[in-house]
Structure 1
C-alpha cells in the first residue's frame, strides 16, 4: 500500500471511529507498527490529527487563525453564546475567556444586566463598552495573538486576586478521556488559573470541538460544571459527559 493510500485510510478511519490505535491498525493492514506511527507523525505535523499515547485522535479545527475561526460554526456559536449570556445574573463577577465563542457571549449579554465582567481579552472589553451597567476589569499581560488574549506572569498575577462567580471558557478540544485542551501551553495555564478562581466553569463547546484533542491540557472534564452545546448534538456524543454528572445545556437558535 502506498503512503498516500495509507494516510487516506487513516484519516477515513479516524473520521468514522474517532480514534486510531496504532497496534490494532498495523495488525489489520499487515504493516509494522513503526510504519503506522510514522504516518501518524507526518499527519500530525500537517495538523490533520492529534497524536496520543498508542495512536491518534481528531485534531481540533479550532486551531485555525482567528479570521478563519470566526467562520467556523458561526450560527451554532451564536446560539451557544445566547444560552451562555442567559446564565448571567445581576451582581455576579463573570469571567469571560478570549476567542470567537466568548466574543459572541459578550455581544449577547443583556443591556439590562448589572454585573462585573473580568477578561484577559481586549476584544471582550471592546465588545462590552456600550453596556451601561457592566463594569469591565481587563487583565493585562503579553498578548498571545492567536486568540488575542493576555498570558504570562502578569496575567496570572492579576487573575490570582479575583474570585469569579462563573467562568465561560473557550477551548479547542473537549474529550471525555483527555479533558479540555488548547493549542498553546501558556494559554492553557491561564485558562486553568481562571477556572480555579471561579465558583463555576462552563465550557462553550461547538461541534468541531467535541471529541477533538489539542496539545496542551487545561483541566479534566471532572473539573468543570457544565457544557453548552448546539441543539443538534447527538445523545451518544454527550453521554460520556452526562455520566460524569456534567450539566449539559442545549442551545436553541
Structure 2
C-alpha cells in the first residue's frame, strides 16, 4: 500500500472512529507498527492529527482568545442561550460555566427571575448586574484565556455547593472521547462542578463535534442533555443520540 493510500485511510478512520491505535491498524493492514507510527508522526507534524501514546486523536484547533471568541457564531450562540435559559425554573440554583456561549444564557434569563446563580467567571457574574437573581461568585486564580477562577481555592468553594443545573462549557464533543477542554486545571474545575450538580447540560456549536481536546472532563453519557442548533447535520449528531438527550434550539 502506498504512503498516500495509508494516509488517506488514516484520515478517514480518524474521522469515523475518533481514534487510531497504531498496533491494531498495523495488524489489520499487515504492516509493521513502525510504518504506521511514522505515518502518524508525519501527519502530526503537518497539523493533520494529534499524536498520543499508542496512536492518534483528531486535532482540535487552538481557540482564539476570549475577546475574539465573542464574535464567533454569535447568532447561533444567542439561539442556544435562549433555549438553555428556558430550562431554568424559579427557585433553582444554577451554575454557569465561563465562556461566550454561556454568557448568552445570562442575557436570556428574565431579569425578574428569582433564582441563585453560581459562577466562577467574573464576566458571567457581571451580566447579572440588573437581575433580581442572587449571584455567588467563586474565587481563585484567574485563568485569563477563559476568564474563570481555577485552583484549589475554587475547588474547595465548589465542593460546598449543590446546584440543580450546570451549564458546562467545552471545546470538543466526541462520542468516544467525551467532553474535553484545552487546559488541565480548567478541566479539573469543570469535573468538580459536575459532581455537585443534579443535571449537567452542554451548549454546543457544530465545530465542536467529532473533535477531542487534550483534557477530558466527562462522558457524553453523563450529561442530562446536549443543546444544539436545530439545523445541525444529522451526521454530526448521530453518534451522540444514544448517549444523551439532544435538545434542539
Task: Write the distance in 2 (CA, Å) between the matches of 1:11 and 1:145.
Answer: 36
- Per the TM alignment, residue 207 of structure 1 is displaced from its structure 2 partner at its CA by 0.6
Partner of 1:32: 35
1:150 corresponds in structure 2 to 149
Q: Structure 1-normalised TM-score?
A: 0.84
User: Pairwise CA RMSD of aligned residues?
Assistant: 2.9
Question: What aligned pairs does 1:27-106 form with structure 2 within 5 A after superposition?
Answer: 32-43=35-46, 49-52=49-52, 55-61=55-61, 63-106=63-106
Q: 1:147/1:160 Cα in 2 relative to 1: closer, same or farther (>3 Å)?
A: same
The answer to whether the Cα contact below 8 Å between 1:50 and 1:213 also exists between their aligned partners in 2 is no
Q: Hey, what's the Cα distance between the residues in 2 that align with 1:228 and 1:99?
A: 15
1:175-221 CA-to-partner distances (Å, cap 9, x unmatched) read 11101100011100100000010000001111111111000010111
**CA deviation vs aligned residue, 1:119-156 (integer Å, no higher than 9, x gap):** 0000101111121x111100000011110100000000
2:117 and 2:134 in contact (8 A); partners too: yes
**Distance in 2 of aligned mates of 1:115 and 1:183:** 31
Distance 1:101 1:28, change over 3 A: farther
TM-score (norm 2): 0.86
Gaps (5+ residues) in structure 2? none
C-alpha deviations, 1:74-97, integer Å up to 9, x for none? 221111111011111100001000
Q: Distance in 2 between matches of 1:122 and 1:189?
A: 19
Q: For residues 18 and 232 of structure 1, do their structure 2 counterparts lie closer, same or farther at Cα, with a shift above 3 Å needed?
A: farther
Higher relative contact order (CA 8 A, sep 6+): 1
